[in-house]
Structure 1
Amino acid sequence: MNLRGKGALALWNGIDPARRAEYDLWHTREHVPERVAVPGMIGARRYVRVAGPLPEYLTLYDMADTHVLSSEAYLRLLNNPTPWSKSMRPSFRGFMRLCCRRELSIGGGLGAALGAAVLADGPALSSSAFLAAVRGLTSQPGIVAVHLLVREEAVPDVPFTIGGDAPDFPRGGALLLEGYDDDALAACFSAVKAALEALAGTASGLTSYRLACAVDRDSLERLTPVKAPASVLHPETGTLSSRA
């Protein structure tokens, strides 16, 4: 499942450890499917951190373009969360959201391993030197695809607070590196860091992730929905319990 759209939404977050299993269920069976059903969404992937400083989870949405995030259908979901979604928001930790255009993709396929670094603002993101360095990364044996995402500043952030403090990382874009194996990808990180030096210190947080789940629009009709746990909803009324 290549990235196919012109836009990408990258979201990082941690979660209250007491709700980690619930988060995985909610995110997989309710939250991501309702987002992917929005017109213009192509698919989504959730990754879990293996090692590195960025937050525990990375969710990557593939979009036709960044206008999807200002569409009526998307804003309706954002501003009218389900009871389960509303109950999960305070349990997030270190939430970070980047709406980006897909500047460059080299290589192909979907790797089970992912390397991610966040990039600062500045013209260096589109400089010929940096783009050449990015293109050269697929010559590394452990890297099957590289994606350069550049933030669209015109897209506003979410209009509400999500639990926990936001992490202090650059937010100009992201470099994503797909691989077939955690160790094989990690062995390429020295070459990745050398490429990032072309940004003169405006990149940070190189972190390795493992794919947990991926879904696209074509598979939505085959997904089986699940209900929120009884600890979140009153089973008789379907309303939020005191936990939220």
Structure 2
Amino acid sequence: MLKGRGLLSLWNGVDPDRRAEYDLWHTREHVPERLAIPGMLRARRYHRGEGPLPEFLTLYELEDNAVLASAPYRKLLETPTPWSRNMRLSFRGFFRVGHLAVLSRGGGVGSALMATTFADVSATEGAWDTIADHVLRETAASAVHVLQKDPAVAPVPFTVPAAGAAAYADGGAIMIECYDRNRLADIAGVLEPVLDAQGLATGRAGWTAYDLAYLLDREELPGVVALSRPEA
């Protein structure tokens, strides 16, 4: 299950000729500087997205979403390093969402994840728990997360090139973790009829499948070696 009570997701593509640099920057500079902010607990980068949502998905697990209004975090947004400022120019289809967890169930971190977004997370009491129980017992899913957009999270103080992928549908998201990307379609085949029978996640986007590229816990920060790179 997710750590903490808050979650930040960032979705984006990147110019194809900078993908290798993006992975390096994201791993050795971007994620470590974010996790150094008090209240940041764990970061994950997913890649190779196949579906309507962007190619990359980054998740930051937080003590709570107040972290995103803190002075140290806002300083990072407003005064990026030269490398970060330059990389932003190569983002495509970028959007960023602060979430509240309606439900987070399961154990461990799977090597694959599928995600969809939709307009309304409201449900009768216990409905999401029943669905999560069913999916975890009857499929290869290792974790189920149902997320609601937190309107209190302020937007970023910068713009990046738009277009290139479907945007987040204001309301909610479902993320399902698994140990094998090849099993995600089977999980969707079980989950879709259950959602439809309950009248949940209506108008949802098609599922986008991802592979886990990198995971870093805050406790591991002392072991991260800074990259020797001239400032861009």
Assess same fold via TM > 0.5.
Answer: yes
Other-structure match for 2:211: 210
- 8 Å CA contact 2:114–2:208 kept in 1: the answer is yes
Other-structure match for 2:30: 31
Alpha-carbon distance in 1 for matches of 2:133, 2:70: 33
- 8 Å CA contact 1:37–1:220 kept in 2: the answer is yes
Alpha-carbon distance in 1 for matches of 2:217, 2:201: 37
Alpha-carbon distance in 2 for matches of 1:200, 1:84: 39
Other-structure match for 1:201: 202
1:47-71 deviation line (CA, Å, top 9, x unaligned): 0135222110010110000000000
Alpha-carbon distance in 2 for matches of 1:15, 1:196: 33
Indicate how the Cα distance of structure 1 residues 49 and 127 shifts in structure 2: closer, same or farther if over 3 A, else same.
Answer: farther
Other-structure match for 2:80: 81
State the Cα distance separating 1:136 from its structure 2 match. 2.0
Q: Which amino acid aligns with 2:146?
A: L
**2:210 alignment partner, SS class:** strand
Other-structure match for 1:18: 17
**1:187 alignment partner, SS class:** helix
Structure 1 ranges of 4+ moved more than 3 A: 126-131, 166-169
Matches for 1:1-244 after TM superposition, within 5 Å: 2-121=1-120, 123-124=122-123, 128-165=126-163, 167-197=166-196, 198-199=199-200, 201-228=202-229, 235=230, 238=231, 240=232
Extract unaligned runs of 5+ from structure 2: none
**1:188 alignment partner, SS class:** helix
1:97-148 deviation line (CA, Å, top 9, x unaligned): 1101122111111100111111213534x75434422332112331011111
Q: Which amino acid aligns with 2:64?
A: D
Indicate how the Cα distance of structure 1 residues 51 and 22 shifts in structure 2: closer, same or farther if over 3 A, else same.
Answer: same
- Normalised TM-score (structure 1): 0.87
1:139-178 deviation line (CA, Å, top 9, x unaligned): 2331011111111111111121012237334131211111
Alpha-carbon distance in 1 for matches of 2:201, 2:98: 23
- 8 Å CA contact 1:144–1:179 kept in 2: the answer is yes
Alpha-carbon distance in 1 for matches of 2:49, 2:88: 23
Alpha-carbon distance in 2 for matches of 1:62, 1:137: 23
- 8 Å CA contact 2:140–2:183 kept in 1: the answer is yes
Q: Which amino acid aligns with 2:162?
A: G
- 8 Å CA contact 2:44–2:216 kept in 1: the answer is yes
**2:2 alignment partner, SS class:** coil
- 8 Å CA contact 2:139–2:186 kept in 1: the answer is no
Moved more, 137-146 or 31-40: 137-146
Identity within the alignment, %: 48
Aligned residues: 229
Q: Which amino acid aligns with 2:131?
A: A
- Normalised TM-score (structure 2): 0.92
State the Cα distance separating 1:90 from its structure 2 match. 1.2
Q: Which amino acid aligns with 1:67?
A: A
**2:206 alignment partner, SS class:** strand
- 8 Å CA contact 1:105–1:147 kept in 2: the answer is yes
**2:89 alignment partner, SS class:** helix
Alpha-carbon distance in 1 for matches of 2:140, 2:121: 29
Extract unaligned runs of 5+ from structure 1: 229-234
Indicate how the Cα distance of structure 1 residues 135 and 141 shifts in structure 2: closer, same or farther if over 3 A, else same.
Answer: closer
- 8 Å CA contact 1:113–1:210 kept in 2: the answer is yes
1:33-53 deviation line (CA, Å, top 9, x unaligned): 100110000010000135222
